[in-house]
């Protein structure tokens, strides 16, 4: 089963979240020296974020942000750098000049490329502001401050770079993405179960029967309707439980699919239940399984969370 794309994020928030850290991103070159100009420091910071070199990332952060960055886990540091350059994999950097004569840096990863074009910096004593145009043609002004003789990333527009605060915001955003993906996965799993029922005349006994065959072709024990990970009950930071239910007043069986955060508070807060009527219930169960008595968030006619 293909993973549903992440929900769109407001561009202003996206640019703020992505650009801030990336600009701080670590560079493989030496820290900017006292006589380095702001554009050189900014170019080196973006290049470092592109290459995902966490060891030198903090060289272009202020002392407070550098300390906060170095306290993050290695995964969180990489995640921050990915957000900075809007790329999910490390890339290589290419320096060039625009047709207007402006310096540029391109970050080329295997699946995407981002380009940053610098405008003329405005410098006031120990402060400098550099206009940066993204590949999308949107422009943001990056602030730098001279600290201990070196240029350090300070702000994005009027937003001061604050890694601890940004980390909390990103964590909340990532949690919402996990939960939305889980709703999409529940609906996709339900469709796979219904496809199985039409194909074989019965409901599957387990999610495992929806997965790919280890060898041979499609069969009731391996219908090849979802990938191996989901057939094992895991996806998007959630664990999935499936069961056949037969109401007391009918002989027609139905099914339910529950989704529980694999790590409560980290991969999700809410638990979800797709009930026999195609309705989705959700609430914060502190990691326990949701029930049909929990609040309703979606019906067969509405996929809105």
Same domain, 119 and 218: no
Last residue of a domain, one of 132, 161, 190: 161
Residue 303 in any domain: the answer is no
Asked if 205 contacts 244 with a C-beta cutoff of 8 angstroms, the reply is yes
Give the residue from 133, 161, 189 where a domain finishes: 161
Angle at 165 between CA 114 and CA 50, to 5 degrees: 20
212 and 234 share a domain? Answer: yes
CB 133 within 8 A of CB 149: no
Region 159-183: mean pLDDT is 82
Q: Which pLDDT score is estimated for 171?
A: 77
Determine the 3-state secondary structure of 150 from DSSP.
Answer: strand
User: Do 44 and 147 belong to one domain?
Assistant: yes
Do residues 43 and 154 both lie within one domain?
yes
What SS3 state is found at 132?
Answer: strand
pLDDT one-digit tens code per residue, 56-92: 878 999 998 999 999 888 888 888 888 888 888 999 9
| Judgement on whether residues 225 and 286 belong to the same structural domain of the protein | yes
Q: Are residues 198 and 263 in the same domain?
A: yes
Q: How many helices (H) and strands (E) does the chain have?
A: 7, 14
- Contact present, 106 and 118 (Cβ < 8 Å): no
Same domain for 119 and 198? no
Tell me: the pLDDT tens digits for 269-291? 999 999 999 999 999 999 999 99
In a domain, 5, yes or no: no
pTM to 2 decimals? 0.58
The answer to whether residue 153 sits within a structural domain is: yes
Reported confidence tier of residue 250, pLDDT bands at 50, 70, 90 = low
First to last CA, the chain: 21
Q: How far, CA to CA in Å, does 165 sit from each of 69, 78, 196?
A: 11, 17, 46
- 152 and 204: one domain? no
Do 123 and 15 share a structural domain?
A: yes
Give the integer Cα–Cα distance in Å for 196 and 209.
9
Domain holding 233, by residue range, is 171-298
Determine, yes or no, domain membership for 2: no
How far is residue 172's CA from residue 266's CA, in Å, rounded to a whole number?
Answer: 9
Q: Does residue 3 form part of some domain?
A: no
Report the number of distinct structural domains present in the chain.
Answer: 2
Q: Would you give the distance in Å from CA 32 to the centre of its chain?
A: 30
Q: Is the dihedral of CA 23, 27, 29, 32 positive or negative?
A: positive
Verify that 124 and 203 share a domain, yes or no: no
Residues 117 and 65 in one domain: yes
Summarised one tens digit per residue, pLDDT across range 126-136 is: 999 999 999 88
In the listed set 161, 179, 199, which residue is the last one of a domain according to the structure?
161
Residue 227, Cβ neighbours under 10 Å: how many?
A: 15
CB atoms within 10 A of CB 275: 20
- 9 or 18: which leads in pLDDT: 18
Higher pLDDT, 159 or 223: 223
């Amino acid at each position: 089963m293909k993973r549903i794309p992440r929900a769109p994020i407001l561009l202003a928030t996206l640019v703020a979240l992505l650009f801030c850290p990336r600009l701080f991103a670590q560079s493989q070159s030496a820290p900017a020296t006292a006589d380095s100009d702001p554009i050189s420091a900014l170019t080196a910071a973006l290049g470092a974020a592109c290459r995902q070199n966490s060891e030198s990332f903090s060289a272009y952060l202020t002392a407070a942000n550098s300390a906060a960055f170095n306290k993050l886990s290695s995964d969180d540091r990489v995640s921050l750098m990915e957000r900075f350059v809007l790329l999910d994999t490390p890339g290589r950097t290419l320096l060039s000049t625009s047709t207007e004569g402006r310096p540029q840096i391109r970050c080329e990863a295997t699946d995407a490329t981002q380009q940053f074009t610098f405008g003329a910096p405005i410098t006031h004593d120990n402060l400098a502001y550099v206009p940066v145009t993204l590949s999308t043609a949107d422009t943001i002004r990056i602030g730098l401050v001279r600290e201990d003789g070196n240029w350090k990333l300070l702000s994005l527009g009027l937003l001061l770079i604050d890694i601890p605060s940004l980390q909390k915001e990103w964590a909340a955003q990532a949690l919402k993405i996990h939960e939305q993906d889980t709703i999409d996965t529940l609906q996709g799993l339900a469709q796979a179960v219904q496809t199985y029922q039409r194909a074989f005349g019965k409901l599957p006994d387990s999610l495992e029967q929806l997965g790919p065959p280890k060898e041979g072709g499609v069969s009731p024990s391996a219908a090849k309707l979802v990938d191996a990970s989901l057939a094992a009950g895991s996806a998007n930071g959630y664990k999935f439980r499936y069961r056949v239910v037969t109401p007391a007043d009918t002989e027609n069986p139905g099914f339910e699919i529950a989704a529980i955060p694999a790590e409560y508070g980290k991969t999700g807060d809410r638990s979800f239940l797709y009930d026999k009527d195609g309705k989705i219930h959700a609430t914060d169960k502190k990691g326990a399984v949701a029930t049909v008595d929990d609040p309703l968030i979606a019906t067969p006619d509405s996929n809105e969370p």
